[in-house]
Structure 1
Amino acid sequence: MRDLGVGFGYLLKGQRWVARHGRSYGFGLLPGLITLVLYAAALTALALWGADAVGWATPFADGWPSPWLGLFRGFLTAVLFALGLLLAVVTFTAVTLLIGQPFYDSLSEQVDRDVSPDGTAPESGLPLWRELWISARDSLRVLVRAALWAVLLFALGFLPFVGQTVVPVIGFFVTGFFLTEELAAVALQRRDVDLRARLGLLRSRKALVWGFGTPLGLAFLVPFVAVLLMPGAVAGATLLARDLLGEETEPNGSTGDTGTGDDGDAAPADGRPAPAHGHTTGTPDTEPAPGARSHPRP
């Protein structure tokens, strides 16, 4: 339960960080605005022509008597729109990060430098085109996983009572997990932590991930909120990534107290001491990832 609160705390700390860095926040709104316009157009088209699509896909019900035909197709139309909304929430982050990759990577580096005791931040050392390719490839893999979950939840939605109560709750937790993966990937890719290792890290601290990603997924359902929260979400996910890797975090940085330990040393939320150096899938506290470069705080 404590991990849930810690995860939510990182979400708030990320928003506070961008509030103190107004110029970074302003530039961070642009990729989200572009993505929002694209998704709004797609969801509007789904709302307008979703019923026609359901009618085309269910010709076997054409002869059903009233009111069963209307109820059946109306229910499927609502479920189709809900599925589209779920996929929009899950993929919004990936598309926005891809559009704004250079900016968000720079923002994440600023957060690392700000809270690192030695004022350094790891860099991948890869050219921009290579970073974009890796990001797009990993996002596609995550999207496939998220789509499989969406199909499963769509099918379970037909179960009486459970489909209208338990399944939506599970859907938000699944959404929160994949949102966190996409956001934390900005910081973890710079540390040469590949997708499989990232997923392993997130699964090892599910409560922490849910505390960060599930409230964010709920907030993203409100128009324009996703755009406003996106820069802070990247900043907060960078702090969360440091926690996952057991990296030391300076308690007096501009993000405020990280809440990871009374003495200022970063410690996992389950009370275990932070590793003195490195992580099995991450990097040492004060050294960049293999092949990465660190730059001091300006």
Structure 2
Amino acid sequence: MVRDYLDGAAFLGRGWQLLRRRPGLFVLGMVPAFLVWLVLAGLFVLLVLNLGGVTAWLTPFADGWPDPLRDLLRWGLAIAVVVAAVLLWTATFTGITLTVGDPFYERVWRGAEDLLGPVELGDGFGFWESVRDGLKLMLVGLGIALLVLASGFVPVVGPVLALALGVALSGRMLARDLVENPLAARGFDKAAQARFLEPHRRRVHGFGMVCQACFLVPFGGVVMMPAAIAGATALVRDLLPDERAQAFVKQSRA
């Protein structure tokens, strides 16, 4: 079971290997991610600068508490607010970036397909489907952020457990979004994708969690997004037996 998660996580490295052969795809994939990151970074700094006021506003009932208890509660809640903001950041960053950057990322994953070997492909789901998926990812991120925020009232342990849960839940959603277009280009609709991915859910989930964890690192989302797109394409190839053989032959000749 653990091996399946690790096997899935390894495809982020496969994505890097592909982009090393086509550096232009890496640079192209960074463009929308960097622009979205700049906007969200400004909002995050604004939150941190006003963190004391935010925690006081969330805990008016503690105004009359003795200093040690009040400070302990508000420091714990401040940590939870920051963790929740980071998780919401990553979900929002990913959702917006995949939506506005869809034309860029289509070139990235199709370029990765070319590097892995010829295969007959159709169109992906298109822009409006990407918008819907991006909004869904942001809503999931909002729900997870609220869970983390609520956990802030449980000192120390609450935010840590909620962070781990947030990475697991967000990673699952992220992985499904990343493999969606390569599968759609092969004729898989939403229902067919769900059925196809079910036997491989641990590998897909492992891939999504390692991508999500990298997105938590400052500037990590900008650098890792192109590799995640290429890695998802390689993962789809590996899940399809016929195409796995083609990709193996192509890579062995490269």
Instruction: Return the match for 2:249 from 248, 252, 259.
Output: 252
**Do 1:109 and 1:122's aligned partners in 2 also have CA atoms closer than 8 Å?**
no
**Do 1:104 and 1:231's aligned partners in 2 also have CA atoms closer than 8 Å?**
yes
Deviation of the 1:99 alpha carbon: 2.2
Identity among equivalent pairs (%): 32
Q: Name 2:235's counterpart in structure 1.
A: 240
Deviation of the 1:192 alpha carbon: 5.0
Q: Name 2:226's counterpart in structure 1.
A: 231
Deviation of the 1:220 alpha carbon: 1.9
Deviation of the 1:21 alpha carbon: 0.3
1:262-277 to structure 2, matched below 5 A, reads: none
Letter in structure 2 aligned against 1:29: M
Deviation of the 1:75 alpha carbon: 1.7
Instruction: Return the match for 1:139 from 128, 134, 141.
Output: 134
TM-score, normalization: structure 2? 0.84
Deviation of the 1:136 alpha carbon: 0.7
Deviation of the 1:241 alpha carbon: 2.6
Secondary structure of 1:120 counterpart: coil
TM-score, normalization: structure 1? 0.73
Q: Name 1:285's counterpart in structure 2.
A: none
Deviation of the 1:233 alpha carbon: 1.0
Deviation of the 1:202 alpha carbon: 4.7
Consecutive unaligned residues of structure 1, counting only runs of 5 or more, are 258-298
Letter in structure 2 aligned against 1:19: R
Consecutive unaligned residues of structure 2, counting only runs of 5 or more, are none
Deviation of the 1:221 alpha carbon: 2.2
Structure whose residues are more often helix by fraction: 2
Q: Name 1:97's counterpart in structure 2.
A: 98
Compared CA separation, residues 60 and 165, structure 1 to 2 (3 A): closer
Deviation of the 1:161 alpha carbon: 6.6
Q: Whole-Å Cα distance in 1 between the matches of residues 175 and 163 of structure 2? A: 18
Q: Name 1:163's counterpart in structure 2.
A: 158
**Do 1:138 and 1:195's aligned partners in 2 also have CA atoms closer than 8 Å?**
no
Cα RMSD (Å) of the superposition? Answer: 2.7
**Do 2:88 and 2:144's aligned partners in 1 also have CA atoms closer than 8 Å?**
no
Compared CA separation, residues 229 and 171, structure 1 to 2 (3 A): same
Letter in structure 1 aligned against 2:73: F
Deviation of the 1:156 alpha carbon: 4.4
Q: Deviations over 1:140-164 (max 9, x none)?
A: 1233234334433443454467525
Letter in structure 2 aligned against 1:212: F
Q: Whole-Å Cα distance in 2 between the matches of residues 122 and 195 of structure 1? A: 17
Q: Whole-Å Cα distance in 1 between the matches of residues 77 and 239 of structure 2? A: 40
Q: Whole-Å Cα distance in 1 between the matches of residues 50 and 220 of structure 2? A: 26
Deviation of the 1:197 alpha carbon: 5.0
**Do 1:180 and 1:209's aligned partners in 2 also have CA atoms closer than 8 Å?**
yes
Deviation of the 1:67 alpha carbon: 2.1
